[in-house]
Amino acid sequence: MANTAFRDRSAFAENGPWRFMPFRFHRLADDRVLLTNQGGEFAFLDRDSFDAFTSGRMPAGSDRYLDLKSKGFLTHGPGESEIRVLASQFRTKKEFIEGGPKLHIFVPTLRCNQGCGYCQASRAGIDQPGVDMTLETASKAIDLMLSCPSPSVTMEFQGGEPLLAFDLVRSMVVTASGRAAKLGKAVKFVICTNLTLLTDEHMAFFKEHGVCVSTSLDGPASLHDRNRPLANSSAHDIVARNIERCDEALGRGNASALMTTTVHSLPHAKAIIDEYVAAGQRSIFLRDLNPYGFAAKTGHAIGYDVDRFLDFYKEALGYIIDLNRDGMHFVESFTSMLLRKILTPFGVGFVDLQSPTGEGFGVVLYNHDGSVYASDEARMLGEMGDPTFRLGSVDDGYADIFFGETMQTIAAAGVAESLPGCADCAFVPYCGADPIRNYRTQGDPVGHRPTSTFCRRQTGIFRHVFSLLDRGDLGLMRIFLSWLKPSHASLPRPPWQL
């Protein structure tokens, strides 16, 4: 009988000098150094080990040598097999770009019944004419969506408040379902609504057509109502009640909530999470302000610097970890996406974490007037009077929109691995490029990393997450691994799975 025992570790140590494979590094606190490579592998070294590695003095056969060799940081070749492994890792992480945009955002109306100070869109009054999408425009936009090569797409309704144009939304869902069925394609539906206008008719339709609901919940009543005022009513009370109604009518997990962090949110990290727990949610997305729409005008009143947001994020994440240690499965969604990119071979469908950028490659938006934009943020710029990232209109052909001059500009500035300041960053295998935000905040799509608030935020979060991975105990690793795939079907879908 053949010997089936594993070979001794020494069998994997080769004779002769070894060579470096391409890698990047970042110095963490306490003399710890993070190494990463293009395949997404990572390793932690203490300062002495790092010095031994970079000076070529690390002895072949040592534990450190074997660990770094197995992850592709050093080689005696490189041989064909090593190149194939690296290529496979890189190809898998970039698989999201295949098939064209998979998230298609439709704006059936700009009208809204709320006056949120941080609104990223240029909302319109509830009775304002001329800001609703026509049936003809909707039909052309649906045809463009179904022209994408991907066999499965998500159709998301935003606004304004899309329930103010519910008849149009209903017609679009029915039309898209019918046309997709004839083409053998699958369409998932999501409606982003403030839930203040929800009726039984809406919920019956959502249940019949499998429409998922995404809403906003900023925390306890005092905070939510301050961030998201509703005339003569408490928006919080209505939203909390309607989330419960959605859970009962649609099933838990088909209605999820997002929060936006204002300066008023910063002292209340634990209270915000407790509110989500009380509302039956099992995930939260700790989202900061974006510099678009009304948020750009009110930033002086509700904004904050990056360091204050990072302190808020760390406090909230620590509290969420404690809840998980006490037996509650509760996920911080942005961290979960980072962990998916760090701990698995796979990418995510979240624009901020994609390279090439998700703008135009992973998401596209059809505005109420028929304009097609590379993302929701591009639309917001357009509403602010700057149509730089308008790809075309629903009257244009697919190739003209997705291979035109504007998309070429986005593509040229949208590959993080080739951008100054990103190309040599240890976090680039897990991060993304955001040309539109760079343009908005710094004046050009490439941007300038040393003065970029986006880069400071991303770097701060990455440093914290990798520090947790470095010093985390087995219990923490079990928690993080459980966030990669919720174990119960009733848990809310993470944003990238919608």
CA distances from 253 to 18, 149, 483, 486, 498 (A): 51, 29, 15, 11, 11
Report the sign of the C-alpha dihedral through residues 307, 120, 210, 136, in that order. negative
Contact 68, 74 (CB under 8 A): yes
pLDDT surpasses 90 at 114: no
329-355 pLDDT per residue, tens: 999 999 999 999 999 999 888 888 999
The answer to whether residues 146 and 184 touch, using CB atoms and an 8 Å cutoff, is: no
Cβ within 8 Å of residue 373, ≥6 positions away: 364, 365, 367, 379, 382, 389, 390, 391
CA distances from residue 60 to 45, 77, 82, 83 in whole angstroms, order as listed: 16, 14, 18, 21
For the entire predicted model, the pTM comes to 0.90
Q: Does 488 score more than 80 pLDDT?
A: no
pLDDT at 34: 98
Pair 36, 84: CB distance under 8 Å: no
pLDDT tens string 402-431: 999 999 999 999 999 999 999 999 999 999
Q: If pLDDT is split at 50, 70 and 90, which confidence band does 489 have?
A: very low
Q: Please give the sequence-ordered ranges of beta strands (E in DSSP) within 61-184, or none if there are none.
A: 74-75, 103-106, 152-157
pLDDT exceeds cutoff 50 at 494? no
* pLDDT above 60 for 495: no
Average pLDDT over every residue of 208-229? 94
The pLDDT value recorded for residue 375 is 93
Q: What type of residue sits at position 393?
A: S
The share of the chain scoring above pLDDT 70, in percent, equals 92
Of 359, 379, 309, the residue nearest 159 (C-alpha) = 379
* pLDDT confidence of residue 27: 96
The reported pLDDT for the residue numbered 292 is: 53
Strand extents, DSSP E, 387-456: 390-393
Q: How many CA atoms lie within 13 A of 151 on its CB side?
A: 1
Question: How many whole angstroms separate alpha carbon 18 and alpha carbon 70?
Answer: 13
The stretch 154-158 carries a mean pLDDT of 97
**Structure tokens that stand for 11 in this block:** 């069998």
Q: Which two tokens stand for residue 486?
A: 């919720």
- Kindly list the domain boundaries of the chain, sorted by start residue: 27-93, 98-401+488-493
pLDDT of residue 451: 94
List Cα–Cα distances, 264 to 72, 252, 294, 298, 312, in angstroms: 46, 30, 17, 13, 11
User: Residue 1 pLDDT more than 50?
Assistant: no
Q: pLDDT, tens digit, for every residue of 57-88?
A: 999 889 999 999 999 999 988 888 888 998 99
The CATH architecture assigned to 98-401+488-493 reads Alpha-Beta Barrel (3.20)
